[in-house]
Structure 1
Amino acid sequence: MAKKDSNQHIAILQDIRKKLFKPVYLLMGDESYYIDLICDAIIANALREEERDFNQTILYGADVDDFALVVNAAKRFPMMAEHQLIVVKEAQNIKGIDNLSYYLQKPQMRTILVICYKNGSLKNKKIIAGIEKIGLVYESKKLYDSQLPAFINTYVTAKKLSIDPKAVSMLADFVGNDLSRLSGELDKLAISLPEGSMRITPEAVEQNVGISKDYNNYELLNAIVAHNVPKAARIVNHFEQNPKNNPLVVTISVLFNFFANLLLCFFSADRSDNGIAKELNLRYPSQARDYLTAMRIYNAFKCIDIIALIRQYDARSKGIGSGASSNDGDLLRELVFKILYSPYQK
């Protein structure tokens, strides 16, 4: 059966560590992080070190002319081992994948065949159905921006560390949903922590990742919620002077997500810290306080107006509509000004 939920990789990894292998794995999709994670786990667990010389073959799409070569390799019997492992990386670059359908009719059950198909999904329904009957198909999809904080917290917790919510926001905004890069930055932060320290702070992120702890989307949002106009203006000016590190598209996304969530808060039956956290699937009740503060400044109708305003400026930043020729700094300054004064406008 196809595994399409990004959390399903946990169950797959558990089976691999228990050495419960499938004869064929198809790991495909736009998010390479989970494909590599599962593939690396299979390589680490399928064979003992002394078995690998004769029973492990790793093929790369750039070096394989036709999938018939993969099929021929998979048909071999292992030598003095329970399994042989065939890993095909960059399988999307290999022609003749139709040849796999014949192998699937009578697979070599002592072969573990792992096909890594990146930057998209295999569209051949016959092959997918054939693999699902005997093996596993896993589709690795890009995470939404709203899912990044959960990924960061889970990754850090697995290392028996904790991370400040502001540090989470800084990393999510700066790195985005490139999970391979994001996990690399988290690994770097974990290694760089002072001896005895178990928490990743905004200061650590600033020092090791190169993100300012004072000038970032988290602080801009904080300034808007607190209606701190001077602070918001300073951050907007910094963003304008450092556009590569502070792309407008990311800032607009952060603002949109906040006010879209804020709108949900107005319809929540429980407006306590715990109630809002549950409504928005926040990890900690303390993260709800910005929303509770904003609810005292904005109402649901103003929130709807602001969401429409953000959509308008998003379109203008992409060259659509009036004022489309304005630069990103001017657009952000206008947008933030209008959001800040929206509650006081009739």
Structure 2
Amino acid sequence: MKHLDVLHEIKNNDIKPVYLLYGEESYLTRQVEEAIINAILGPDERDMNLTIFNQDPSVQDLTGMIETIPFMGGKNVIVVRGTALLKARKGNTDSEEQRAGGNDDLLIKTFSNMPEYSHVVLSTTEKVDKRRKLFKIIESGGRAVEMLPLKLNDVKGWLNGKLTALNKKMAPDAIEHLLGALSLMPQISLGFLDNELEKLALYSSGKVITLRDAEQVLASIPEVSVFAMIDALSQKQTGKALELLNEQLAAGDHPLRILALLVRQVRMLWQAKELGAQRLDSKTLAALLGVPPFIGEKIVRQSRNFSASALKQALLALAVTDFELKVGKADRTAIEKIIIEMCI
């Protein structure tokens, strides 16, 4: 089950007694956790009926709290963040295994017969052992939800929801600018993205966030700068490309980080150039590049302004520069030289 399915259940007041939220996208975990708490407890009930642990309490304390009838009625919500109750038990001694097994038995008994006045939310960014009986009990009687990082193809849907919540709209070219930069990131952090959108909403004076707003607010993010730099390179705008490079270096970004982003993007341009020659449709081409269709189309358009040999030479030059930067034989001027040569 995905986190959106769980949020839909909660919205329909279908609240389960036990939740396990696991995986590295902590932003989604907090979103679901907050939705559960808000659905069960009013603001005036939280002081008495909400308990949050940042590590596991003893199993005896946890089960005791679950079975304790709330003072003045209502319901208990017990949140345990950073739980290790479901992790794999590699390397345990016999005595540790026996103790852990006893704890599991107690938790299995409790989670199998949860009182209607208690709800438990367990969360962890670590991997969990899905073979454990405890996991299967939570999965069958409650919800076990893996919080995976959002894929680029799914960002637009999340973005639309966030903009609606902010009572804002975003111009198509501003969305393209943002998603183009995200395509350079090996992993998208929703916490980071949420923070940047909050800043954009505050910066934007009108109801619509414009491309200029996005360029101004997101300029300090290396991926945004490199994506804009490639756009400038494809239009042979040497001055603008060098200006963007110097802004990133002045902001403290290491040349090797900028170089790595350039290598990824130039390699993608080369792939687009080769795939474009096969006359593939934009959807197929974008899927092969691992980007949304409209980003794929932009990369193809950019690639048309370079010859295949120029892109190959740029990649070779970037590889040499990477080595020379690492051994101290080159500096920022080597990257500037590559940019100038790509604009010729």
Tell me if both proteins adopt one fold, taking TM over 0.5 as the criterion.
yes
**One-letter identity of the residue aligned with 2:140:** K
8 Å contact from structure 2 (residues 232, 238) kept in 1: yes
Distance 1:223 1:27, change over 3 A: same
Distance 1:59 1:241, change over 3 A: closer
Q: What SS is found at the alignment partner of 1:168?
A: helix
- Determine the structure 2 residue equivalent to 1:113: 120
Whether 2:140 is the aligned partner of 1:133: answer yes
Q: Deviations over 1:146-190 (max 9, x none)?
A: 765665455335544114135415874799733213202212321
Whether 2:231 is the aligned partner of 1:222: answer yes
**Separation (CA, whole Å) in 2 of partners of 1:296 and 1:306:** 15
Distance 1:78 1:193, change over 3 A: same
Q: How does 1:78-157 map to 2 (within 5 A)?
A: 78=70, 83-92=75-84, 99-105=103-109, 106-110=112-116, 111-118=118-125, 120-123=126-129, 125-126=131-132, 127-143=134-150, 151-152=158-159, 154-157=161-164
8 Å contact from structure 1 (residues 161, 199) kept in 2: yes
238-247 or 70-79, which deviates more: 238-247
- Determine the structure 1 residue equivalent to 2:332: 329
Unaligned 5+ residue runs, structure 2?
88-98
Distance 1:205 1:232, change over 3 A: closer
Whether 2:43 is the aligned partner of 1:40: answer no
- Determine the structure 1 residue equivalent to 2:92: none
Whether 2:175 is the aligned partner of 1:168: answer no
**One-letter identity of the residue aligned with 2:195:** G
Distance 1:256 1:24, change over 3 A: farther
TM-score, length of structure 1 as denominator length = 0.72
- Determine the structure 2 residue equivalent to 1:204: 213
Shift of residue 58 of structure 1?
1.8
Shift of residue 241 of structure 1?
3.5
Q: What SS is found at the alignment partner of 1:222?
A: helix
Distance 1:337 1:81, change over 3 A: farther
- Determine the structure 1 residue equivalent to 2:253: 244
More RCO (CA 8 Å, sep 6+): 2
Q: What SS is found at the alignment partner of 1:30?
A: coil
Unaligned 5+ residue runs, structure 1?
342-346
Q: Determine which of 60, 78, 85 is the counterpart of 2:54.
A: 60
Whether 2:298 is the aligned partner of 1:292: answer no
101-110 or 246-255, which deviates more: 246-255
Pairwise CA RMSD of aligned residues?
4.2
- Determine the structure 1 residue equivalent to 2:189: 178
8 Å contact from structure 1 (residues 88, 114) kept in 2: yes
Shift of residue 245 of structure 1?
8.3
**Separation (CA, whole Å) in 1 of partners of 2:20 and 2:86:** 14
8 Å contact from structure 1 (residues 65, 94) kept in 2: no
Aligned residues: 321
- Determine the structure 2 residue equivalent to 1:74: 66
- Determine the structure 2 residue equivalent to 1:344: none
The sequence identity of aligned pairs, in percent, is 19
Distance 1:84 1:217, change over 3 A: same
**Separation (CA, whole Å) in 2 of partners of 1:157 and 1:313:** 47
**One-letter identity of the residue aligned with 2:170:** S
Distance 1:245 1:175, change over 3 A: farther
Distance 1:207 1:93, change over 3 A: farther
**One-letter identity of the residue aligned with 1:128:** F
Shift of residue 15 of structure 1?
0.8
Whether 2:28 is the aligned partner of 1:28: answer no
Shift of residue 316 of structure 1?
3.2
Distance 1:290 1:252, change over 3 A: closer
